[in-house]
Structure 1
Amino acid sequence: MELRSRALYCSFCAVAVLLCSSLVFAGDIVHQDDVAPKRPGCDNNFVLVKVPIWVDGEEITEFVGVGARFGLTLESKEKRANQIRVSLADPPDCCSVPKNKLTGEAILVHRGKCSFITKANVAEAAGASALLIINNQTELFKMVCEANETDVIVGIPVVMLPKDAGKSLKLSMSNSSNVSIQMYSPHRPLVDVAEVFLWLMAVGTILCASYWSAWSAREASIEQDKLLKDGSDEYLSKETQHSSGVVDINILSAICFIMIASCFLLMLYKFMSHLFIEILVVLFCIGGVEGLQTCLVALLSCFRWFEPAAECHIKVPFLGAVSYLTLAVSPLCISFAVLWAVYRGVSFAWIGQDILGIALIITVLQIIRVPNLKVGTVLLGCAFMYDIFWVFVSKWFFHKSVMIVVARGDGSGEDGIPMLLKIPRMFDPWGGYSIIGFGDIILPGLLVAFSLRYDWLCKKSLKAGYFLWAMLAYGLGLLVTYVALNLMDGHGQPALLYIVPFTLGTLITLGKTRGDLKHLWIRGEPSGRFCPHVRLHSDEKQPSKM
C-alpha cells in the first residue's frame, strides 16, 4: 500500500505543475489597448459583434468581430439588424476615394497605410453604410482614435474582423455576387447559470474531500489506539502514517512546488503545440483514472456486498497488493478516460472532463496533506504571488498574460489544457465556457481539509471549530472572483488573488482570537498530541490543554 501511494504521489507531482491555472476569461478574444483615452466622438465601449454571412439569401456562416471606439453603436437584437450587401473596396486599403460606386453597401477594406478614422471617413463620404476592416493577424485589435485626431465624427458602424474571416468572406464574394451581412452585438447576462454550477462544483469538491480526509485520519487514529498497548508511540505513529498512504508536505516541498510550476508554465507558453496538448491529455487521463478508481473503490467499500472484494488482495507486479475490487473497477475507469480522450472534441465532452477532474482533485486532497498552518501559509502565500505574477506581471516581460495564453491553449489548435473544470455558458449568446483551474481548488482545499482534521482531533463542534469558517471563506472568495470577472468585462482573473486572503486570513485571525494560533501554526494539533493523525481518541486519557 505504501508503494502504491508513493507512485500516486509521484504521478501527482508530474501533473501538479499544471494545476495552478487561474480562473480565466469569459470569452475575451481581443487585444487590450489603453493608450488612447476616451473623448467625444471616440467613447464607445468595446463590444464583440456577431457578423452572420448570407449568400444568395441563405446564411452560411457567422464570424465574430469587435466594434470600434468610434462610429454608430450596433443593435443588440438579431431581428432588428438589417441585411447589408457587401462590396470590396477599391483601393483595398480605403485610404483614398473608392473607384467603385457605393449605394448603402458595407465596404470590406484591409487594415494599414492610414488610420482607422481616415478609412471610416472615406467610406462614409463614398456612400457606404458600414465599414468592415480585415485585420492583418488571426486575432482582433481594438480600434481607437489617434492622439492627433481631436474632432471625430463618424456616422457609420465600424467593425474589425480577423484575418481568416476576411479571407472566407472574400472567397464567398468571388463565388457569388449576392453576399450580404448582418451586424449586431447581443448583451451578455449579468450572471450565467454556468458560473453558479461551477461555484457549487468547486465548493462541493472541497467539502467531500475534506470529510473523506478527516474520516480517514480518524480511522487511522482508532487503529493506532489499539496498537498503542503493544508498541512505542513514535514507532507506531510512523508506521500508521506510512500504511495509511498519506504524504505530509513541508515548507521546502511547498516552495519547490511553486518554482517547478512556474518553470513548467513557462515551458508550456514557449512550446505550446498540438503535440504538447496531446501529452497533457495523456497525463490527465492517467491521473483521472487513478482518481476515479480510488473514489469508486472507497465508495463501493461502504456497501457490505463489496466488502469481501475490497478486503481480499492479490499481488500484482510493480503494484504490490491490490484488492479484487480495484481490479474490477480499473477497466471501467480506463475505458471512461480513453473514451473522453478520443471524443473530447464533442460538445458534451466537458462532462467527462469534469468527472475525471473532480475524482483526481478529491484523491489528491485525500493523499496530500498540510500538517500545520505554517506550511499552509507558505504554500498559499507562494501560490498567491505565483497567480498574480503569471496573470498580470508577466505582461510586462512577455507582452501577453502567460497564464491566460496557456489556459486558453493559444497555438495548440484546441480549447486549452485539460487540467480545468469547465461548464458551457448556457444562456450566453456568445457561448464558450466558464472554467476554473485545478490549483484554485486543490491549494486552498488542502488548508480547508486541514481545518476539519484539526476540529475532529480537538473534538470541536462545527460552530466552535475552524472548518465551517474556512469553508465559508473559500466560497466567498470564489464568489468575489466571479464578481471581479464580470466587472472586468471577462478579462482573466487570478482566483487565488481573492481566495487566499479570505481562507488564510480567516484561519489566522480566528486562531489568534481564540488563542489556538500557536498550536495551529507549529503543531497542527492540541497540546499533548504527537500527530494530528494519531491518538484521536486518547483525550479521555490525556486531556487537551487548550
Structure 2
Amino acid sequence: MSPTKLPAAPFLLIIAVVLPVLVVGDDIVHEDDSAPKLPGCSNNFVLVKVQTWFDNVEDSEFVGVGARFGPPIVSKEKHANRTQLILSDPPECCTQPKNKISGDVLLVHRGNCKFTTKARIAEAAGASAILIINNRKELYKMVCERNETGVNINISAVMLPQDAGASLENILASNRSVTVQLYSPDRPLVDTAEIFLWLMAVGTILCASIWSAWSSREAAIELEKLLKDAPDDLLNMESASSRGVVDINTISAILFVVIASGFLVMLYKLMSTWFVEILVVLFCIGGVEGLQTCLVALLSRWFKQAGESFVKVPLFGAVSYLTLAITPFCVTFAAVWAVYRQRSYAWIGQDILGISLILTVIQVVRVPNLKVGTVLLSCAFLYDIFWVFASDWFFHESVMIVVARGDRSGEDGVPMLLKIPRMFDPWGGYSIIGFGDILLPGLLIAFSLRYDWATKKNLKAGYFLWSMVAYGSGLLITYVALNLMDGHGQPALLYIVPFTLGTFLSLGWKRGELKNLWIKGQPDMVCPHIQALAH
C-alpha cells in the first residue's frame, strides 16, 4: 500500500523536532564552582521533601535543596521530626530575631547577608532548622564563601523556591498553625522509567524503519506492474514511485534547522498559558493525522476493499472508506487527551499520539542519501548544543530547557515530548525525551534499512543493525550523562549523532561504499529489465 500523504508534514516536522532534549529532575542553579568544599561545609547537595500540616491537617509537600553546610538531613521519613514553623522577624534573619524561638523551624527570606550568617543567627536564637525562601522560582545551591573558615553550623538549612515559600508565608500570616517535617529520600540508582523510555525510542525507530522499507518495496512492485502494462507511461511511473513521499535535500536540511531555531525562540518568548493551548491544538492535529495514517496502514491488511474504495470529500479530494471510518475515533482520542491532559494518566495518550506522529513523519519525509543525512544530523547536533548550553550566554538561561519544562506556561511542559512517570522514584516526576531525539536519527536509520533491502544485504553485512546498535548506545550514554549531571537537561543529540552518524560513515568507508552512499544513496528496487523498458 502506498503511504498516505501527510499534508501538514513540513510544519509538523518542525514542531516535532524543536525540542530534542532530555530533561530529568528539578531545576537547581549551579553557581558554586568558585566555592570548594571546606571543613564544616562539605555536604553533598540533596533534594529535600518539606511536608506540611496546617492546623494539624496534612497539606502540601514542597521540594527544596539542602545546603553545603549543617548536619546531613535524614533520608527516612520515620526518622524525621515534625516541628513548628514560624516566620522570622526581621524576615531576612541577618540580625537577632525579635520573636521567641524554641526548637522551631525558622522561615526566612534570602538576601542582605550570607547563607551561613542566617544559619548561625537562627541557631543562636534556638531554631532547629532554617528554611530560606529564594527570590526566584528555581532552587539555588547554598555554599560557603571561598575564604570562609571555622564553619560550625549544627542546624539544617534548606532552600525553597519562591512560590513554595510565598505559600507558607501566607498561611503563617493568617495566624494558622504550621508544622513541617524535613527528610531527603534516596533516589534509585536505576530508574525504570528511563529503561522503558529507551525501549520506546528504539522500538519506534525500528517500527518506522521497517514500515518505510516495506513501503518502498511495495512501491517498487507496483511500479514493475505498471511498467509491464504500460512501459511508455512515464508520467504515471513518476506518480506511482513518489506518491506521498517527500525527499529532503541539503538546502532544506539546513533551512529546517534555521526555521526550527526561530520557532524555538518564538516558543520561548511567547510561552504562556494561551500559547500552550495553541501548541496543544497543533499537536492534536498532527497526532490525529499520524494516528489515522498508522491505523489505516495497519487495518488495510484486513479490510483491503474498504482501503481501496474511495469517495470524494470536499476540500480533501478522494478519501478511502477505511479512512472515513477511522477518522472519528482519531479525532475523539485526541480531543479526550486534550481535555484531560492534566490527569496523571494523560501521558499514555500523549505518547500514543506522539509515536504515531513520529512513525508517519519518518514514513513520509525521507533522506535520499548519506550526504543529506549527514548535513541534517550535523546541523541538528549544533542546534541541540547551542540551545541547551550556549543560549545561556544570550538569554541568561537555557532556552530549550525552559521551553521543555513549560516555564511561565502554568503547565508541566509542552506536549511535543514522550514521557513516562518515574513510578519507583520517591521524588516522582517524569522522564522525558524530545521528538527530535527519535525522529532525526530515525530518518537516517530508516534510509539505512531501505538501502540494505534494495542492495539485498543481510543484517550483518548491512548498515541498519549497526545503526540501531549505535543509536541505542548513544541514547544509553545520554542517560548515564543525565545521572552524572544530577538530572540536569542534556542535549541527547550530543551523544546520539556521533554514535549513529559516526558508525554509518565508518562502515561505509571501511566497505568502500561511502561514495555510493554519499551521492547515489538508495538504489531503485526495480528489476533491471523493467528499468530498461522505462528507458
**TM-score greater than 0.5 by the shorter chain:** yes
Q: Distance in 1 between matches of 2:272 and 2:506?
A: 45
Contact 1:12 1:287 in 2 (8 A): no
Q: How do residues 91-490 of structure 1 correspond to structure 2 at under 5 angstroms?
A: 91-175=90-174, 178-229=177-228, 230-231=230-231, 235=235, 237-243=237-243, 245-303=244-302, 306-490=303-487
Q: Distance in 1 between matches of 2:237 and 2:453?
A: 18
Contact 1:3 1:320 in 2 (8 A): no
Gaps of 5+ in 1: 526-531
Match of 1:30 in 2: 28
Secondary structure, counterpart of 1:170 in structure 2: helix
1:234 and 1:378, CA in 2 relative to 1: closer, same or farther beyond 3 A?
farther
Secondary structure, counterpart of 1:62 in structure 2: strand
Secondary structure, counterpart of 2:388 in structure 1: helix
Q: In the TM superposition, what is the alpha-carbon distance from 1:48 to its structure 2 partner?
A: 1.2
1:58 and 1:476, CA in 2 relative to 1: closer, same or farther beyond 3 A?
same
Q: In the TM superposition, what is the alpha-carbon distance from 1:66 to its structure 2 partner?
A: 1.2
Contact 1:89 1:107 in 2 (8 A): yes
Q: Distance in 2 between matches of 1:114 and 1:219?
A: 72
Match of 2:499 in 1: 502
Match of 2:8 in 1: 10
Q: How do residues 65-76 of structure 1 correspond to structure 2 at under 5 angstroms?
A: 65-76=64-75
Q: Distance in 1 between matches of 2:192 and 2:473?
A: 17
Contact 2:86 2:104 in 1 (8 A): yes
Secondary structure, counterpart of 1:269 in structure 2: helix
Contact 1:220 1:533 in 2 (8 A): no
Q: Distance in 1 between matches of 2:482 and 2:528?
A: 48
Contact 1:56 1:176 in 2 (8 A): no
Query: 1:316-346: per-residue Cα shift (whole Å, max 9, x none)?
Result: 1121111000000000000000110111011
TM-score where L is the length of structure 2: 0.95
Contact 1:265 1:403 in 2 (8 A): yes
Query: 1:438-492: per-residue Cα shift (whole Å, max 9, x none)?
Result: 1111100000000000011001111111111111111111111111111111010
The number of aligned residues is: 530
Deviates more, 1:426-435 or 1:151-160: 151-160
Secondary structure, counterpart of 1:64 in structure 2: strand
Q: In the TM superposition, what is the alpha-carbon distance from 1:146 to its structure 2 partner?
A: 2.5
Q: In the TM superposition, what is the alpha-carbon distance from 1:293 to its structure 2 partner?
A: 0.5
Secondary structure, counterpart of 1:216 in structure 2: helix
Contact 2:86 2:107 in 1 (8 A): yes
Q: Does 1:523 align with 2:520?
A: yes
Between the aligned residues of both structures, percent identity stands at 67
Secondary structure, counterpart of 2:312 in structure 1: strand
Aligned-partner residue type, residue 103 of structure 2: G
Q: Distance in 2 between matches of 1:414 and 1:154?
A: 39
Contact 1:444 1:503 in 2 (8 A): yes
Contact 1:130 1:156 in 2 (8 A): yes
Contact 1:134 1:166 in 2 (8 A): yes
1:202 and 1:3, CA in 2 relative to 1: closer, same or farther beyond 3 A?
closer
Q: Distance in 2 between matches of 1:461 and 1:241?
A: 25
Deviates more, 1:175-184 or 1:215-224: 175-184
1:334 and 1:265, CA in 2 relative to 1: closer, same or farther beyond 3 A?
same
Q: In the TM superposition, what is the alpha-carbon distance from 1:395 to its structure 2 partner?
A: 1.1
Q: Distance in 1 between matches of 2:179 and 2:267?
A: 41
Q: Distance in 1 between matches of 2:513 and 2:453?
A: 15
Q: Distance in 2 between matches of 1:431 and 1:3?
A: 40
Q: Distance in 1 between matches of 2:327 and 2:530?
A: 43
Aligned-partner residue type, residue 21 of structure 1: L
Aligned-partner residue type, residue 437 of structure 2: D
Secondary structure, counterpart of 1:59 in structure 2: strand
Q: Distance in 2 between matches of 1:248 and 1:533?
A: 14
TM-score where L is the length of structure 1: 0.93
Q: In the TM superposition, what is the alpha-carbon distance from 1:18 to its structure 2 partner?
A: 4.6
Q: Distance in 2 between matches of 1:299 and 1:82?
A: 58
Q: Distance in 1 between matches of 2:3 and 2:453?
A: 28
Secondary structure, counterpart of 1:71 in structure 2: coil
Contact 1:50 1:65 in 2 (8 A): yes
Q: Does 1:62 align with 2:61?
A: yes
1:215 and 1:270, CA in 2 relative to 1: closer, same or farther beyond 3 A?
same
Secondary structure, counterpart of 1:480 in structure 2: helix
Contact 1:15 1:283 in 2 (8 A): no
Q: Distance in 1 between matches of 2:56 and 2:381?
A: 54
Query: 1:75-94: per-residue Cα shift (whole Å, max 9, x none)?
Result: 11111111122222222221
